Amino acid sequence: MQMPTSRSLGALAALGIASLFFSLDQSHAQLFPANSETQFSGVQGQDNWSYGYRNVSQDGGGVDYDPVSDFVP
């Protein structure tokens, strides 16, 4: 019998963790701050959410990210 590799053990661990999340019923829904399936409307800016990105070359790429000035919608 061959010993499992670290890759196969990692895959099994990921599968186990994923099965935990999929097995949660609605009684645990309050644990999650948002649900992208049920709360997605497709309307930009609804509920103060918007799509955008950070231009690292424009803002200098430091760790001092400021979401107000460095966020590009």
Query: Is 72:52 a contact under the CB 8 Å cutoff?
Result: yes
pLDDT score of 18: 60
Strand partners, 71: 54
| Pairwise pLDDT comparison (69 vs 27), residue with the higher score | 69
pLDDT at 7 over 60: yes
Q: pLDDT per residue over 8-61, tens digit each?
A: 666 666 666 666 555 555 555 566 677 777 777 778 888 777 788 888 888 888
d(CA 14, CA 20): 10
